[in-house]
Structure 1
Amino acid sequence: MKGIWGLIITGLSLVGALSTAATEILGSSLFPNERLQLTEGVLSKISVALQNVTISSMFDFGNDPTSRAVANNDASHRCKTIPGELLWPSDKVWNIFDTLLGECLIKTVPLAASCYVDWPEYNTTQCAAVAADWFNSDLHMEDPASIMLPLYQGRSCLPSPYNYTADCTQGGYPTYAANVSTVAQIQLAVNFARNLNLRLVVKNTGHDFNGKASGKDALTIWTHYLKDKEYYPEFKATNGYVGPAIKFGSGIQVFEAYEFAKSVGHSVVGGEAVTVGLGGGYTAGGGHSPLSSMYGLASDQVLAMQVILANGHFITASSTENPDIFWMLRGGGGSTIGVVTSLTVKALPKLETTTVTFNFTVKDTPGPDAFWSAVEAYLDNFETFVDAGTYGYYYIGASSVESGTDYAGSTDYYFRMESFVAPNMSVTETKTLLAPWFNALDNLNVSFTPWYNHADNFHDAWVEAFPQEYVGADVVKTASRLLPRSVFQSDDLRNQTFEAFKDAIIRGLFIAGFHISGTGIAVEPPTDSAVLPAWRDAITHVILGSEWNFTSSWDTIKSSSLFVTEWMDVLREIAPDSGAYMSEADLLEPNLQEAFYGTNYPRLYALKQKYDPTGLFFALTAVGAEDWEVQTVDPLPYSWNNNGRLCPKSS
């Protein structure tokens, strides 16, 4: 390549510069892509080739006292650099960055740009394909910038008929994305963003309830294709664990993890949804699973992980090596202090598993009283079900199509058991466990037809019971609460909870809930974990939601959002000492740090300041987020989505 500021850098790329250095990186436990690391030696080669100290210093590590990088110690007190500003990289600098990356830098455009005539990507055929596939998870997770809940990137570019406006703007979509495949590329991107004070976003799949993988004017590190995996029949962890383990690249998704675990005769803890990325914010935030009542949370399974920190250095974190980072990244949330490239987790026994799916509506009962009594009978059995190691994922609402709630006062009540999961149980054992509840339904003359699905391994039972979910809509706002065992051991509090469920539906909301424990019956939870302590006492995770139309105004969204937050005070009062699961929670949660992190927050915040003093890593609701604000360009209060400049919080 020639012509970039008069420089001749033919053959210069990160891959080329690494050709010699890579052989110096040892460690059989590292994946091949993790052995390709950025080093001071590699940076020296780049500096010599570029012959421009100003540009080469943009890639320096964060702890280099001689660096002449643009960033300085005051970066935490300045707004992130945006296009048009003096410090925003020129096209020539972006080209150099792309060359060093090995030409994996993507200039992103909104996924639906092909539907808008004023975009160069306008193409009616492509637009039709995008619109037809808009609610398919695959469409969004295979795009470097799109997220699965576009409300949180500003509803800025949606295809018809899902668009509330006739315009398409970049909105909260990042400006550039690095489609990384090696540790060195991630290190280079981290250093570049930190030194130039750019907003940095990390995206795996974009499956996040608060849109953490979006950010206006940002550079995205796209980890989706870090797909390596390796099985260890006997792994000796530094915490004393000795047994089978599996190492996964952070781009591995739940369905891939489950498939691989089955292939080697094991199970692993992962999410319910097909598209969840195992090594991203899911595990970092705790990660609940259909296997949690048996084996605990996803973060409990982690034995070691590889991480690139905000200073650009690549480390291993375990119970003895960088133990504070290991503690933080197991429950302290994603987008906080680093980019995880891989994690080694426990390989659990092969588990025969039974799942049960069924539904009933008010029309399948003698009337509303019988319907609600049937729901109440389920709550009465929460403790029993959790103590047997099972998991239930259910919906309650009022709609003729059995989805959401149509309007306040609707009496088209429905209960839908997406799946009752009974690990390590036969169909007969599962029927015995369910008998008290099902007998109650029979006595209430509720008509329902349970479908029992059984396999000799968890994967095969799960894949039948959990089809891929719809995404891509911007018409829902949710809040959540974990309710502890004590609520269901008290007749009064259990009755208050049941009455709250009824009230929510009557007032036009819907419930997506789980009976689940964060303390598995087959194991003891680890003590060196930043998981919200409320998870250890919880036996249900309750999500509450409100809906509107695709064409609804921002005023409607604002009022609906506030209503959801305010209504959740009912459950907060029932369980005042509990909290909320950060990955499926309310962006507007009151006392957010206490609700999402509990007593761990002071230590988490201190570690954030230690390892990321300039605030390179940011996400709404993440540790340290209270120091920043997204100055939204939509008619919403600051930090209600990611469509705005990121700045230190106004005094």
Structure 2
Amino acid sequence: MNRRELLKAALAIPFLSGAMTGGIASAWGAGITKLAKGLRSRVRPGDPGWPSPAQWDDLKQQVGGRLLKLVSPFADPSSAAYSEALRHLKNPFYIGDQPALTQTSGWWQAWTSRPSSYAVAAENTADIVAAVNFAREHHLRLVVKGGGHSYQGTSDSADSLLIWTRHMNKVTLHDAFVAQGCAGVQAPQPAVTVQAGAMWIDAYDAVTTHGGRYVQGGGCTTVGVAGLIQSGGFGSFSKCFGTASAGLIEAEIVTADGVARIANACTNPELFWGIKGGGGGSLGVVTRLTLRTHALPQWFGGVFGDIKASSDEAYRALIARMVSFYQSDLFNPHWGEQIAFTPGNVLHLSLVFQGLDQQQAQAVWAPFLDWVRARKEYVFEKPVQVLALPAQHFWDADFFRQHLPSAMVDDDRADAPRNHVLWAGDQEQVGWFIHALKSAWLPASLLQQDQQARLVDAIYASSRHWYTGFHFNKGLAGAPPEAIAATRDTAMNPQVLDAFALVIITCFGSPAYPGMPGPDPNPADARGGVKNVGAAMDALLQLAPHAGAYVSESDYFQRDWQHAFWGGNYPRLAAVKQKYDPQGLFFVHHGVGSEAWSEDGFTCLA
């Protein structure tokens, strides 16, 4: 982005939404010049101003020796680390334990996973404060990584200092939590406090398997808690319980001035609001979060299967029947996860449900499945199964080992915690190299009877190009009023409140970390993926040309990303950024305030 593009973006910001108050919009519009003047480009190794060995050693002393010089395990083919990395390449727990690796290995013509120069392996808030102060004082590129799942490449950067929170993973349950400074304002409520480096499997194991309650988190068990909350955060049952960020009661966050601040509805309320969906890594380093917990439903379950049509005409009819059935029977808080439509004329079912037992769920699906069975133009490539289990066992690793061992995959290392498992269906994403990925929220108005034909035509057209996935739990239309109200009080794009689904279309290849054996990503495959994904999404965007996108699952090259990710909330977010990080210490690709920086975050553009 050159200077002219920067100024154009800055001037456009106040007009993103007429609903924004003039004060907030004007404050950002007038303040971006002031913000840009306060910025200073960052240094790399070898540049004047790069810290001396003595200065790095001083930081090492401050953090109790937990300063690491990072080298990729693939740097030396003769090393034991190289062999170990190849052996555990599809184990996300292993990858997460390597500060030099990320869960995504790269994105075609966008970024490639490369380790930071140094990492502070933080074990407490004081370690993070020391790292933030050091980066600010020496004008370093600063990166924060917990789970390391970022598709956009925000979990690493060559020539940077990494704050790695993996070892801060304590989980604490509360029977009656009140946020600091909110006594007499908030009623005590059951909650869980999770440190920034914990994964969702850690939270679910404590809250659900052992605590008998529910916390709204992410669907993939190895996603970091802190990153998901800051992006908004969806889980399998968000259609009932709302987004993960909507459940945030309080956070501790280290801001750019090196101060550890409490943020909640009563203390630093604007910072608190910005943490709830404003994007990870833009406002500070979150050290811990406290989330409300809910009464656990008696049952969780899933519906799985594949139905193939014998002709294009029959497939279009199947899509129409599915859309009608979804609107009449599944468009409610009980149902979440995915239905996909494929070029091979296959309807792929991978849904979950809550609050229904197996017989009740089977009764819901009986009319649709009877309709399919009565027609010879359809076959079940995979039988449709409806399964339910006591909700307390949904993330219970030992229960699955005994009753359904194929559903989950263990951390295969000898010293791994027994609860560290991931859903088998998520393993394909471990280390993947993305060719293209797009997302869009589709409004619930498309489910109305007079609009369904248009929706069916668009789905069919999209499926001619690529596998098109509808994630129903990632749109909150149909959710309970309290879940919608709580999510409305977050920084996310308000479109999520009126969307019945988030469509995600992606193409990817095998892991491609620099230094790995084997061929580089195939250019023809990547270009073909970009073309097909784009065409598939374009077919749907004809129905919703101004559809927003989910920041954590979006196109790296997203145009108008401020509006796509945050809609009318962006000026308010930018004002929070200006207040708490006026010098732009925290940078992520397409993050709040990133307009002022080069794509790699090193060069100030103003």
- TM class, shorter-length: 0.7 to 0.9
Q: What is the rounded CA distance, in whole Å, between the counterparts of 1:151 and 1:391 in structure 2?
A: 29
TM-score, normalised by the number of residues in structure 1: 0.75
1:443-482 superposed matches below 5 A: 443-444=374-375, 445-447=378-380, 448-460=382-394, 466-467=423-424, 468-470=426-428, 471-482=430-441
Is residue 301–residue 345 contact of structure 1 (8 Å, CA) maintained in 2? yes
Q: Which residue of 2 aligns with 1:35?
A: none
* 1:577 CA drift (Å): 4.4
The counterpart of 1:105, out of the listed 64, 67, 80, is 67
Q: Which residue of 1 aligns with 2:459?
A: 501
The counterpart of 2:498, out of the listed 537, 544, 550, is 537
The counterpart of 2:349, out of the listed 397, 400, 417, is 417
Structure 2: tracts of 5 or more residues without a match: 1-33, 401-406, 408-422, 511-518
Task: Please say if 1:267 is aligned against 2:214.
Answer: yes
Q: What is the rounded CA distance, in whole Å, between the counterparts of 2:108 and 2:435 in structure 1?
A: 14
Change (3 A) 1:367 1:290: same
Q: Which residue of 1 aligns with 2:28?
A: none
Task: Please say if 1:226 is aligned against 2:168.
Answer: yes
Is residue 337–residue 612 contact of structure 1 (8 Å, CA) maintained in 2? yes
Q: Which residue of 1 aligns with 2:276?
A: 330
Q: Which residue of 1 aligns with 2:101?
A: 146
CA RMSD between the two structures: 2.7
Task: Please say if 1:575 is aligned against 2:544.
Answer: yes
Deviation digits for residues 105-149 of structure 1 (CA, Å, limit 9, x no counterpart): 11111232233xxxxxx32x5434322322221221111131111
Q: Which residue of 1 aligns with 2:14?
A: none
Change (3 A) 1:305 1:461: closer
1:235-634 superposed matches below 5 A: 235-237=177-179, 238=182, 240-262=186-208, 263-280=210-227, 282-360=228-306, 362=308, 365-383=309-327, 384-398=329-343, 412-418=344-350, 420-444=351-375, 445-447=378-380, 448-460=382-394, 466-467=423-424, 468-470=426-428, 471-489=430-448, 491-492=450-451, 494-507=452-465, 509-516=466-473, 517-518=475-476, 520-521=479-480, 523-524=482-483, 525-526=485-486, 527-547=488-508, 551-552=520-521, 557=526, 560-561=529-530, 564-565=533-534, 568-630=537-599
TM-score, normalised by the number of residues in structure 2: 0.81
Q: What is the rounded CA distance, in whole Å, between the counterparts of 2:396 and 2:316 in structure 1?
A: 29
Q: Which residue of 2 aligns with 1:647?
A: 603
Change (3 A) 1:112 1:357: farther
Structure 1: tracts of 5 or more residues without a match: 1-71, 116-121, 158-170, 399-411, 631-643
Q: Which amino acid aligns with 2:498?
A: D
Q: What is the rounded CA distance, in whole Å, between the counterparts of 1:629 and 1:436 in structure 2?
A: 55
Is residue 247–residue 342 contact of structure 1 (8 Å, CA) maintained in 2? yes
Q: What is the rounded CA distance, in whole Å, between the counterparts of 1:532 and 1:305 in structure 2?
A: 21
Q: What is the rounded CA distance, in whole Å, between the counterparts of 2:301 and 2:371 in structure 1?
A: 20
Deviation digits for residues 495-527 of structure 1 (CA, Å, limit 9, x no counterpart): 3333333333323x2223311243632734225
Deviation digits for residues 139-191 of structure 1 (CA, Å, limit 9, x no counterpart): 2111113111111498998xxxxxxxxxxxxx632111111001000000001
Q: Which one scores higher on RCO, CA 8 angstroms, separation ≥ 6?
A: 2
Deviation digits for residues 558-597 of structure 1 (CA, Å, limit 9, x no counterpart): 6754664565343333123431111111111121111100
Deviation digits for residues 228-283 of structure 1 (CA, Å, limit 9, x no counterpart): 22111122343634321111112221111111112122011111111111122x11
Is residue 153–residue 214 contact of structure 1 (8 Å, CA) maintained in 2? no
Q: Which residue of 2 aligns with 1:59?
A: none
Change (3 A) 1:624 1:558: farther
1:38-187 superposed matches below 5 A: 76-115=38-77, 122-123=78-79, 126-152=81-107, 172-187=114-129
Is residue 301–residue 352 contact of structure 2 (8 Å, CA) maintained in 1? yes
Q: What is the rounded CA distance, in whole Å, between the counterparts of 1:415 and 1:133 in structure 2?
A: 33
Q: What is the rounded CA distance, in whole Å, between the counterparts of 1:142 and 1:396 in structure 2?
A: 36
* 1:372 CA drift (Å): 4.3
Change (3 A) 1:367 1:557: closer
Is residue 426–residue 454 contact of structure 1 (8 Å, CA) maintained in 2? yes
Q: What is the rounded CA distance, in whole Å, between the counterparts of 1:215 and 1:315 in structure 2?
A: 26
SS in 2 for 1:629: coil
Change (3 A) 1:127 1:433: same
Is residue 254–residue 278 contact of structure 1 (8 Å, CA) maintained in 2? yes
Q: What is the rounded CA distance, in whole Å, between the counterparts of 1:314 and 1:251 in structure 2?
A: 17
Q: Which amino acid aligns with 2:216?
A: V
Is residue 565–residue 589 contact of structure 1 (8 Å, CA) maintained in 2? no
The count of aligned residue pairs is: 527
Is residue 316–residue 322 contact of structure 1 (8 Å, CA) maintained in 2? yes
